[in-house]
């Protein structure tokens, strides 16, 4: 769509649905972005609120990326029973998906939460929180009130966030790392591993609800948002932070729901598919903590992936602008088949997932046809949708125990 078309779309949405733009404050900031970013303290972070209360040790870590973002991480160094036999624990990095943070892994009772299950199974567990989320809204020089703070897409998560987390964990433990991603966490893992920058620090990877190709996703809201250039329209109006909970973005989502005749009260089901195994208290806790903000540029990049049916770096919209950034008219492609063929991989995907559609996941797995056969495990869970993999009450028995067994085999 040409820029003039995007402007027209943005104006049409504003006029048709009567959306009002919040006024700028005295410093030129949009009103709903005013206020200081939340500061994580020993008594208010994820460790205190969601790990230590269950009787586990937990450490808060801050990691600085090479482009200046200060990322918050949690470490659960041992299980609830203590250090066990004293043997060295293998580190596992657990990476969340889009519009959530590390808290999304900790919404069920302790015996159903993946990080605590892995800690009890003998692993040194780390949780990452990507830039822009609640406790990673910090930068050495920039404020989240500045548009420049939000000038990134998932390319930067690949190039800066994951390497910073890996370097920190490897520097403290001296060991190779098991990686576990969900949703966007799988996408940035695939992209990063394909460029082989982390290969010397990576032991294995488990991908839950893996996404890389999104052309067949069946989520109505996601499809409409991507194909109607929602994120681009939001960017043109001047919103650098994409926060579904407030302001113009929230109004846009309501407008899309209204236009499509969708009941967006159950936003989880609308976006992820009909999850089989969530309980009401977990959903309430999820909605109290999530969704988290991301950058509008990140949402544009994801929309490009849906529309273009390719896995490429961010498209700046013209050959000239791409040439300036990449030295070529088209953004470079990520070549997933370049992931080292001897890297142990575990895939788990669901039959009712509206984001990681079965057709797209099968196409993704087909990119590994030259991978060492004995290095790939694939699990298909017919009744699971996208959120079941992180919050399902049956996930421990259905998925997590299999993940732990897979990791232990790579010792």
Phi-psi region of 380 (alpha: psi -120 to 50; beta: other; left: phi over 0): beta
* DSSP H helices in 295-367: 296-308, 319-326, 358-366
Instruction: State the catalytic residue, choosing from 136, 183, 194, 209.
Output: 183
Long-range contacts of 271-274 (CB under 8 A, 24+ apart): 271/219, 271/221, 271/222, 271/354, 271/355, 271/386, 272/219, 272/353, 272/354, 272/355, 272/385, 272/386, 272/387, 273/218, 273/219, 273/350, 273/352, 273/353, 273/354, 273/355, 273/385, 273/386, 274/352, 274/385
How distant, in Å, are the alpha carbons of 100, 115, 400 from that of 81? 29, 15, 19
Q: Which two tokens stand for residue 14?
A: 């504003």
Query: Which residue, among 342, 336, 344, 340, has the nearest Cα to 361 in the 3D structure?
Result: 336
Rounded Cα distance between 408 and 411, Å, is 6
Q: Which of 101, 124, 251, 353 is catalytic?
A: 353
386 is catalytic: yes
Q: What count of other Cβ atoms lies within 10 Å of the Cβ of residue 288?
A: 9
Is 325 catalytic? The answer is no
Clarify whether 353 is annotated catalytic. yes
Distance of CA 218 to the CA centre of its chain: 19
Between CA 147 and CA 44 the distance in angstroms is 27
Q: Which of 182, 371, 386, 388 is catalytic?
A: 386
Peptide linkage before 303 cis (omega within 30 of 0):
no
End-to-end CA distance of the chain: 50
Residues serving a catalytic function are: 183, 353, 386
């Amino acid at each position: 769509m040409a820029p003039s078309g995007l402007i027209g779309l943005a104006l049409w949405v504003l006029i048709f649905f009567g959306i009002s733009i919040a006024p700028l404050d005295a410093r030129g900031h949009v009103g709903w972005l005013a206020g200081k970013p939340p500061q994580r303290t020993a008594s208010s972070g994820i460790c205190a609120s969601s790990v230590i209360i269950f009787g586990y040790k937990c450490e808060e870590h801050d990691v600085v990326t090479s482009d200046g973002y200060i990322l918050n991480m949690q470490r659960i160094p041992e299980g609830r029973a203590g250090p066990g036999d004293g043997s060295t624990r293998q580190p596992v990095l657990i990476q969340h998906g889009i519009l959530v943070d590390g808290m999304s892994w900790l919404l069920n009772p302790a015996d159903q939460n993946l990080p605590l299950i892995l800690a009890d199974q003998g692993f040194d567990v780390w949780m990452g929180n990507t830039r822009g989320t609640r406790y990673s809204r910090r930068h050495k020089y920039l404020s989240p009130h500045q548009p420049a703070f939000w000038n990134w897409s998932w390319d930067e998560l690949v190039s800066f966030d994951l390497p910073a987390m890996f370097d920190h964990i490897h520097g403290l433990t001296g060991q190779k790392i098991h990686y576990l991603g969900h949703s966007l966490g799988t996408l940035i893992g695939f992209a990063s591993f394909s460029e082989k920058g982390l290969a010397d620090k990576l032991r294995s990877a488990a991908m839950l609800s893996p996404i890389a190709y999104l052309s067949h996703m069946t989520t109505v809201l996601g499809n409409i948002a991507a194909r109607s250039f929602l994120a681009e329209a939001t960017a043109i109006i001047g919103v650098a932070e994409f926060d579904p909970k407030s302001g113009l973005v929230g109004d846009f989502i309501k407008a899309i729901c209204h236009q499509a005749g969708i009941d967006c009260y159950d936003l989880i089901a609308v976006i992820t598919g009909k999850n089989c195994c969530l309980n009401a208290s977990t959903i309430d806790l999820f909605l109290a903590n999530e969704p988290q903000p991301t950058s509008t540029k990140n949402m544009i990049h994801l929309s490009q992936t849906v529309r273009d049916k390719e896995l490429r770096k961010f498209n700046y919209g013209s050959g000239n602008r791409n040439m300036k950034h990449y030295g070529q008219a088209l953004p470079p492609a990520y070549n997933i088949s370049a992931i080292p063929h001897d890297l142990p991989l575990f895939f788990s995907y669901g039959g009712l997932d509206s984001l990681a559609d079965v057709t797209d996941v099968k196409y993704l797995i087909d990119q590994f046809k030259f991978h060492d056969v004995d290095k790939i495990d694939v699990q298909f869970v017919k009744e699971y949708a996208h959120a079941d993999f992180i919050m399902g009450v049956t996930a421990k028995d259905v998925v997590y125990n299999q993940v732990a067994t897979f990791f232990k085999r790579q010792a």
